Amino acid sequence: MARLRKAVLPVAGLGTRVLPATKSIPKEMLPVFDRPAIQYVVDEALEAGVEHIVFVTGRNKGAIEDYFDRAYELEDTLKMKGKTDVLNALDRELPSPGSMSFVRQQAPLGLGHAIWCARDVIGDEPFAVLLPDVLVQATPSCLAQMMAAYEKTSGNIIAVERVPEEAVSNFGVIAPAGPEGDLMKMTGMVEKPKREEAPSNLAITGRYILQPEIFALLASQATGAGGEIQLTDAMARLMKVQPFHALRYDGRSYDCGNKVGYLEASLAYALRDPEFGAQARATAAALLQDWPEKPAG
């Protein structure tokens, strides 16, 4: 079993569901409490032992690359003002030199195409995929739990979480091969099924561990839903020749790709902050107490 060292983060999307905030700022750089959303995803990958992260970017995404680089003017200003604590905190979050790559997806051809764009950097190795729209609060991290499962099963792993049955039509869900447990073999995936046709209520979270053979399938993958090259279509083909397992991880996900999900994530991370959590809770409670049931106007 090859060791998993690399992760792909597809960040080329336009963020249309959270406009106008993303008109000039990449959606991945929108702050969730005290840091950009993308920082939480990168931290999750690093905690799991990932050594190299491949960002698949598009136009107007330069702010992401700049964020993970040194900001010499800011550092000099902090140094002159004696703000060493802030300076040291920024320094601790800098990635190791050479530990990140940025490749361009020139056209919005789908998630599968975005992953395929990382093929030369990944090479012939297993790799993780973390969708940056989804933040996951978990201890250990969601990907760390997946890595532990990967050491037991090898093959391909998809993170899932249980959702209410009335909500399954909003998600992609998996078809388990047998009795459901925390780690289960799977026979298929269904995208946004009708409630009565859903094979389970285990929703795909946006975290994957995949074998490199997926790249050859993506290269020949026909367009699917929305006229795009879909990762799920290629995974369904790979499932015919390689084992797939679903891991019901211990944690909670937040979809930052829509406005209410983004708000929920911001509040959740504020409440769990070790320094400001209590103050955030008191602030939220006070707002709810004072806010009218029907906003004025």
Check pLDDT > 60 for residue 137: yes
Check pLDDT > 80 for residue 97: yes
CB 216 within 8 A of CB 120: no
* Topology of the domain comprising 6-290: Spore Coat Polysaccharide Biosynthesis Protein SpsA; Chain A (3.90.550)
Residue 18 neighbours by CB under 8 Å, 6+ apart:
27, 30, 256, 257, 258, 259, 262
Q: What are phi and psi of 95, to 5 degrees?
A: -70, 160
The pLDDT of residue 1: 67
End-to-end CA distance of the chain: 62
**Nearest Cα residue to 251 out of 265, 234, 235:** 265
Predicted TM-score (pTM) of this structure: 0.91
Residue 46 neighbours by CB under 8 Å, 6+ apart:
none
The pLDDT of residue 3: 84
The alpha-helical segments, DSSP class H, found in 123-213 are 142-153
Q: Which percentage of the chain shows pLDDT scores above 70?
A: 98
Query: For 140-183, how does the pLDDT look when each residue is reduced to its tens digit (9 = 90+)?
Result: 999 999 999 999 998 999 999 999 988 888 888 998 987 777 99
Average pLDDT score, the chain? 90
Q: What are phi and psi of 257, to 5 degrees?
A: -80, -5
CB 65 within 8 A of CB 102: yes
Task: Kindly list the domain boundaries of the chain, sorted by start residue.
Answer: 6-290
The DSSP call for residue 29 is: G
The pLDDT of residue 297: 53
Q: Quick one: pLDDT band at residue 93, thresholds 50, 70, 90?
A: confident
